[in-house]
Structure 1
Amino acid sequence: MYALTLKGELQGVTNLRPKDTEDAPFWYIFKVQCTSCRETHPNTVGVNRFDMNEMSGSRGQANFVWKCKNCKRESSATIQAAPTPYEQSEPAKARRILEFDCRGLEFTEFVPEGEWLAEGPESGTKFESIELTDGEWYDYDEKAGEEVSIKDLSWEIQRA
């Protein structure tokens, strides 16, 4: 089991999470490495928790099935549950937001592409279409009358 952890400074927003529903699944983008030959795939790969793919030579299914081009071994990964929202805290703390079971591969890097959601802790203002690829995001909460931001983001993949 592995976990994706997030640490970041949230100012005026909380419950940061990917927009991830069955109607609009979030594609988690990773760099992937084969645990057999240690070859790292040159491109990023996308995994969504609602897609199930057949594994060859097995009745099993996984969210992501991958065959290493170097050693030809088939590997898989499955996201265990819906993402856990990242809460605002002082000081910022690393928290698990996603857990996945990897067989024969490791995700080595996370790329935060896609649409993220958050809300104002006091105002309840909903912020949608948050882009985190630049590592920071700024907006204004009309109800609270203050600037809001997400910055100093760091993502880490660890053994759970």
Structure 2
Amino acid sequence: MFKVQCTSCRETHANHVGVNRFETNEMSGSRGEANFVWKCKNCKRESSASVKAGPFPYEQTEPAKPQKLLEFDCRGLEFTEFKAEGEWLAEGVETGTKFTGIDLEEGEWFEYDEKSNEEVSINDVKWEVRRS
């Protein structure tokens, strides 16, 4: 889920909005389709965003470093904040164990990997939205 801001008048949508890479929405005036279409309530301009690349898997590194997960083509809007809603997937680095239904809303997740007989975790998660 994202916070979205109009690049014309800088109005920010009151709620986080979802973008689904598997869905397309018609843009007015037969201008094509996009994964997300939004009409700013303040200036009435229609803006759009489409998933350009990704999702990319996060590869564990020591020390941990920022990595690109998604890339958007945004027209008339920008995403300013990300909130991790929904379920995520992970794979044990050493065992290949698949973990599903991961909730990262609190920025951390803990589980037990039976193949390695060890606790596994995702923690200190920080999300950053950057312009390229």
Deviations 1:65-91, CA, capped at 9 Å, x for gaps? 000000000000000133000011110
Give the root-mean-square deviation of aligned CA atoms.
0.8
Does the alignment pair 1:155 with 2:127? yes
Partner Cα separation in structure 2 for residue 49 and residue 82 of structure 1? 9
Q: Which residue of 1 aligns with 2:114?
A: 142
Calculate the TM-score normalised by the size of structure 2.
0.97
Structure with bigger strand share is 1
Cα deviations across residues 36-78 of structure 1 (Å, max 9, x unaligned)?
0001111111110011111001331100000000000000000
Aligned residues: 132
Gaps of 5+ in 2: none
Residue in structure 1 matched with residue 32 of structure 2 by the alignment: 60
Match of 1:119 among 91, 110, 127: 91
Number of the residue aligned with 2:105: 133
Tell me, in whole angstroms, the C-alpha distance in 2 between the residues paired with 1:59 and 1:103: 12
Counterpart-to-counterpart distance in 2, 1:159 and 1:69 = 24
Q: Which runs of 5+ in 1 are unaligned?
A: 1-28
The one of 92, 97, 114 equivalent to 2:69 is 97
2:8 alignment counterpart = 36
| Separation of aligned partners in 2, 1:71 and 1:32 | 14
Give me the whole-angstrom Cα distance separating, in 1, the residues matched to 2:121 and 2:21. Answer: 28
Rounded Cα–Cα distance in structure 2 between residues aligned with 1:56 and 1:78: 15
Higher relative contact order (CA 8 A, sep 6+): 1
**What is the TM-score when the length of structure 1 is the normalising length?**
0.80
Partner SS state of residue 138, structure 1: strand
AA in 2 matched with 1:134? E
User: Is 1:74 paired with 2:65?
Assistant: no
**CA deviation vs aligned residue, 1:87-131 (integer Å, no higher than 9, x gap):** 111100001010001000010101110110011111111100000
